[in-house]
Structure 1
Amino acid sequence: MTNDLTGPRVVAVAARPGHHFSKTPCLSIHLSAGLGVDGDGHRGVTVKHRSRVRKDPTLPNLRQVHLIHAELFDEVRAKGFAVAPADLGENITTSGIALLALPTGTKLAIGDSAVVEITGLRNPCVQIDQFQSGLMHALLDRDADGNLIRKAGVMAIVHSSGEVRPGDQIEITLPDGPHQPLQPV
């Protein structure tokens, strides 16, 4: 299942201990079922995001893995921003998947054994503008009805453990219907 450059695939992987905005690109990351990315500051059964921990540290961690589509980097590059994989804090950069259009509960089988379940959208925060002034505005849009579109990626939990590497294929399994659109988590 790995290293097929056609179809949905992994472009880059990243992790970083502690709480930092950007992550460190890696040759591979290991996903642990029910926990997240080994060696990453957001790994754990309960919430790790600082603002969420302050509100209720016992809440389940629905943000174990952060995924962003590489096509977003092309979009913001055309607007004058320089963004590369891991810069926005994502663990997995994908290509060939409309991540934002997937319904809640979609499962992504990545590489030989890892499986993540999409829990919702990443809600862009002010740290994005601290990274590059004006970038947060570029990661938000409005649809034809005026509804806010968040483009900063999706969040997931780990269902099955496994190694994830650049070049790994991704297989998409939609949940049984009716499908629920992604909401911020």
Structure 2
Amino acid sequence: MNDSPRVVAVHRDREHRFGKPLAAAIELLEGLGVAGDAHCGRTVQHRSRVRADPAQPNLRQVHLMHGELFDWLAGRGFTVDPGALGENITTSGLDVLTLPRGTLLHIGGRAVVEVTGLRNPCSQIEDFQPGLLKELVGRNDDGGIVRRAGIMGVVLQGGPVRAGDCIAVELPEEPWQALDRV
């Protein structure tokens, strides 16, 4: 078995919908995000953020989610498949939630994504499967909020990404900054 970080699946959708359909490959565009995806752009594309301030920089160009989350959720009675929660890239063998801000993910032969923060899931998740939001946004033993719905990033270098591609992790210089919601 290969434990090195890999891409399990890729997804995109031109429309603002909850899930994203499976794609054979996606093209990451430098400074923009996923070609053909509703969230592609230099400024925010998420509808609620556009209403608040359409000039904000888009720190959510690419959504990555660890495929191991789906197994964890299955153990809690939920059935979630890759793309169902709206991610662009489903990973395996990479604990995305523990990466520090500024981590560079070298994906496939050319693409580079800089990690900007945690995805903060919205209440639409309850429409998908009741009770799921509580699993994706929980509390730790100290009462702090724990977000499990993946990470967001910006594209520093474009390129194609497809299932099976390797992911190389380049950590930033210390001191590391923990991820927060973006």
**TM-score above 0.5, yes or no:** yes
Could you say what secondary structure the match of 2:70 adopts? helix
Paired positions, count:
182
Q: Measure, in 1, the Cα distance between the counterparts of 2:146 and 2:135.
A: 11
Aligned residue number for residue 102 of structure 2 = 105
Q: Measure, in 1, the Cα distance between the counterparts of 2:26 and 2:2.
A: 19
Could you say what secondary structure the match of 1:108 adopts? strand
Aligned residue number for residue 28 of structure 1 = 25
TM-score, length of structure 1 as denominator length:
0.96
Aligned residue number for residue 89 of structure 2 = 92
Q: Which of the numbers 12, 19, 22 marks the counterpart of 1:15?
A: 12
TM-score, length of structure 2 as denominator length:
0.98
Aligned residue number for residue 50 of structure 2 = 53
Q: Measure, in 1, the Cα distance between the counterparts of 2:180 and 2:52.
A: 19
Q: Measure, in 2, the Cα distance between the counterparts of 1:125 and 1:170.
A: 28
How do 1:64-143 and structure 2 match up within 5 A? 64-143=61-140
Q: Which of the numbers 169, 176, 180 marks the counterpart of 2:177?
A: 180
What's the CA shift string for 1:46-102, capped at 9, x where partnerless?
000001000100000000000000000000011111100000000000011110000
What's the CA shift string for 1:154-184, capped at 9, x where partnerless?
0000000100010100000011111000000
Q: Measure, in 2, the Cα distance between the counterparts of 1:167 and 1:16.
A: 21
Aligned residue number for residue 157 of structure 1 = 154
| Residue identity opposite 2:35 in structure 1 | D
Report the identity percentage. Answer: 55
Q: CA RMSD, aligned part only?
A: 1.0
Note if contact 1:107-1:115 (Cα within 8 Å) is conserved in structure 2: yes
Task: Using the TM superposition, give the Cα deviation of residue 140 of structure 1 relative to its aligned residue in structure 2, in angstroms.
Answer: 2.0
Q: Measure, in 2, the Cα distance between the counterparts of 1:70 and 1:30.
A: 20
Task: Using the TM superposition, give the Cα deviation of residue 5 of structure 1 relative to its aligned residue in structure 2, in angstroms.
Answer: 4.2
| Residue identity opposite 1:127 in structure 2 | Q
Could you say what secondary structure the match of 1:75 adopts? helix
